[in-house]
Structure 1
Amino acid sequence: MTSPTTKRLSATALLAASLLAVPAAADAAPLKGLQDDPMILSDNAATRAAFWADAKDAKVRTVRVLAKWDGKATAIDAAQLERLRRAATEGRAAGAKLLVGSYAAIGRGKKAGYKVPAATQTAYVTFMQSVAAGLADIPLSGYLSFNEPNYKTAWPTGAANARRWVTLNNRVYKAIKRVDRDGKVLIGEPSPNVRSSFGSVNPGAFFRTALCLNSSYKASSSSGSCKTKLLGDGFTIHTYDFSRSPTKAVANKDQWVHGNLKTTIEQIKKLARSGRLSSAAARNIHITEFAYRTEGKFKTPDSRAASYLKAAWKTAKKYKVKSFVWYQLRDPAGSSDWKSGLKTADGGTRATWTAFRGLK
């Protein structure tokens, strides 16, 4: 006969075993994401409906969209805000939330070392705050503080400018929190590597310079400005690499291409251990741009791109990336310097679309 004590012990053992059998959160796949601003923000209802139908079909949960900033405006205009609100509403009906940022071409045409005027920086901060204020009543995936700060078209190069960017990022973070306290503000979004014709800086080196750290992630300066922590609720990266498999590492670990995802995450964690980034942000990593080109010099054949996409997703899942956004659902119609659609301009399917739909 089994005693009550034995029964209690058996029940406890069974409960422990059942808890161990539950899949760990670490095994969860990234949230699937898409970006296609011309479709999402179109005033053509049929175009938007086509995007959201495909997003729902593919079980997309995050949709990245960038508000347009002209470099001067201190607030988003009513028409653009209404398009973002409409997209957020239509997205929720399709099971997706918006991840909202802005592209700032602050460094376009500027020489290295150009100091961004205080008025320009303040205009950007207040513009991003107005975006958040206009969307604060709608559930979002979050906000993006700045796009590709290591890319000279977006932000001028030079060590001093890298440190100034940290200050700008933190101002945007605080400004958004003032109007949407519970909104998540994601930071980073660097261009993945040096592209000599564009004058970018490898992201690993950029963030060390910006946060006054040497190659060993030790403080390189004791000045007060160098003790500033980069504020954010999560860290975002772009991991494009058009020249090799997403599982093939690059020798230079400061290149944050997909093949270097393991060492990229290690570097981000080192930023946190140095005290320059919160540990929470370093654990909340998102890929907010990924794709393969469908035309031009950097084109990847469709069947190979589909295979690479599956491998990239598997790697992102392995390293616990929280979301994975593909850039462009459809190729832009006509001439464009960037085409990476999962579908053709008229909606024809590619092998990459089939692969994307099947990602789990």
Structure 2
Amino acid sequence: MQEIEIDDQWKRYHIPFVIRYEEPEDLLIEIAADITGAMFCCAQLEKGERATLYQATDDKLADTDDYGAWFARGGIGGTIQNPLLKLNADGSISAGDGSFVINPDGTGYFAEGRFKWTKDTITLQDVTIRWEDFDDEAKKNLLTKYITITGTNLFHYADALQEDTCEPKEIILFATEYNFTAAARKWQYMGSEGNWKDIPGNGSDFFRLLPDAHFWENREVLTLRYVATLDEVEYTETYTVSKQYDGADNYSVYIASTNGNVFRNGIISTTLSARVLKGGEDVTELIPDKNFNWTRTGNTPADDALWNSVSHTGKELEITGEDVFRKAVFDCEVIISTL
């Protein structure tokens, strides 16, 4: 008989003992306690001097004759001290060099953390994805979809008192869709109260603008917007047309973008260019590049202050993804001087 001390918690004990069995008597092993309230469970009887590790069971039991394996800790391959595949005590599986980990809760990482995942997110860091690895459909979806509008942007009047003598008689604007073909199209204009209004009967990619159209609303400047819809996503581009009269010395600055003003998937590459008009005449080339100063207004004032602290001068400005986080507006201030 062997005595053991019982704690006030569940604990596994192993006791080697010698038995002698003689037929036809039944083999009986009795466990007795000299205190009340002691509980025993999960008895495991094995041959030998050392008990194997206890393997817990649950309600998912399956009887099979196939070969299999079960590990509590340890590793596979390599050496005992440095296995190639580690089976950790917390239930995780990891590479011997730590390049990947798969945790029991479903989280983990590959490539030393550059590819990480949780139950809700997947994070890629410093991972190169080659363009040639994508199929044609994926390439099409990744390409930036944008619109440009081309056409004259000025109605010129020789005399402000003769509204019917302007050149040209009409302006035709053409919208070009890049990397997509819209399923629906429409043109809008900015009303005097500041909201966009649909122009009925214009579902094509070109628009004929007359100088006496009602949506000028007695203004000298009109902003139009082209809206192209594909898969319930709207792509837009705006265009401003003005009326200029001889004898008017007012200056105006217009900014154009080579690749539109809406970008998707963080892929941003365009060139902004500023033009200066005086009374309908383009005088941009008369003004030195240093007189054109660009500023940015985005979502983070601190980042804008840092961007604006660096001089951005010239008639053109290259914009990339490093210049825009989510949304940004670029303005150009021009000093009217030939010096």
TM-score range, shorter chain: under 0.3
The structure with the largest alpha-carbon Rg is 2
Give the structure-2-normalised TM-score. Answer: 0.26
- TM-score, reference length from structure 1: 0.25
- Normalized per residue, which structure has more helix? 1
Which structure has more strand as a fraction of its residues? 2
